[in-house]
Amino acid sequence: MSEPEEEKGEEHFDDLRLENEIKKIKLSLEHGGNYISPTEENLPPEIESQWLDYIKQFEEELAKRKRILVYNLIGRPFYKLNNNIPDSDIKEELNKVRDVLHRHAITVDTICPVSDRELYRFITEELFREETNDMHIEGMTTCFIYEEYHPNHEYDIRSRCTEFINHILDKKREWAPDYLGLAHEVISNSGKLTNKEVISKIAHFRDAFRSFTITDFTILSISINEHTAEAECTIHYAGVLEDADEKMEFSGDAGFSLVYTSKLWVISKIDIPGVPL
């Protein structure tokens, strides 16, 4: 490419960058907020322009705030009643309704295994009666999660406790206490502690070790009583001290208490061998 052509190409990119900045200003003035492009410093200006156009279309559709039943949005298709479908046909009928949803950019997913019949029942008896935004944007999909309507509490509790253990005993993982899932007040062996006090004690414990190795962490049982839960566990792990090659091993019974608040299970009591709380 000759030098004049190179300069012309650069001028074109500069013009696009200027247009993108103008688009961001207009979006901020018309819809509020700050519009930051996807985090790549060398994002091509033409790609950024397409992204901003997509955001503009989304904001304009959202501003209309039209609401519509999911069943109406997908064209009110014929479907069989759940109770009238034999077990041998339920998978086929489920695939039919999911295909209709997919053609209208709607997906239904599950976090845990759910039977075909239960998922069909959920879609036809609950989801079809849900309201959603009447928006038609190319490339945009609306996703519904079964567990948002029917939480799997045991799964959530197991995940919360396991994630807590993995987070504090994995020195390779960036320390992010906001993800520990703690209640505002936590009961420990030394009594009641504030959320911040627990975080501080765990941070000091982690800092004393160069690395940890978890040999075993098993949740033996979970008992749930409305808005509270108990998880009984066993654990065996080792840690190498930060200032020495000495290895310390910890094992024994562990336990968590949790409370259900704002549709989340948070840890309200902790008992872990070796962790000084």
> What pLDDT is recorded for position 146?
97
**Confidence tier at 13 by pLDDT (50, 70, 90):** low
**Global pTM value:** 0.71
- Phi, psi dihedrals of residue 259, rounded to the nearest 5°: -125, 145
What is the per-residue pLDDT across 41-55, written as a single tens digit (0 to 9) for each? 566 777 777 766 766
Q: What percent of the chain has pLDDT over 90?
A: 63
**Terminal-to-terminal C-alpha distance of the chain:** 67
Query: Per-residue pLDDT for 269 more than 60?
Result: yes
- pLDDT grade, residue 8 (50/70/90)? very low
Q: Supply the angle between the helices 45-64 and 3-31 in degrees, to the nearest 10.
A: 20
Please compute the mean of the pLDDT values over residues 77-89 and round it to a whole number: 96
**173 within 8 A of 167, measured Cβ to Cβ:** yes
Percent of the chain with pLDDT over 70: 80
| Closest-CA residue to 211 (of 246, 183, 249, 171) | 171
| Strand extents, DSSP E, the chain | 67-69, 106-109, 131-133, 142-145, 182-188, 191-194, 209-225, 228-241, 247-261, 264-271
pLDDT category of residue 256 using cuts at 50, 70 and 90: very high
Q: How confident is the model at residue 82 (pLDDT cuts 50, 70, 90)?
A: very high
| Mean pLDDT of the residues in the chain | 86
Residue 17 phi, psi dihedral angles, 5° rounding: -65, -40
What's the confidence (pLDDT) of residue 176?
87
pLDDT higher than threshold 50 for residue 2: no
Q: Give the C-alpha separation, 271 to 209, whole Å.
A: 19
The number of residues making up the chain comes to 277
What per-residue confidence (pLDDT) applies to 65? 62
* 110-116, Cβ contacts within 8 angstroms, sequence gap of 24 or more: 110/145, 110/146, 110/147, 111/145, 111/146, 111/147, 111/152, 111/155, 112/147, 112/152, 112/155, 114/146, 116/90, 116/91
The 10s digit of each residue's pLDDT in 163-203 is: 999 999 999 888 888 888 999 999 987 789 999 999 999 99
Mean of pLDDT values over 133-148: 83
pLDDT at residue 3 greater than cutoff 70 = no
- The per-residue pLDDT for range 220-250, each reduced to its tens digit, is 999 999 899 999 999 999 999 988 888 999 9
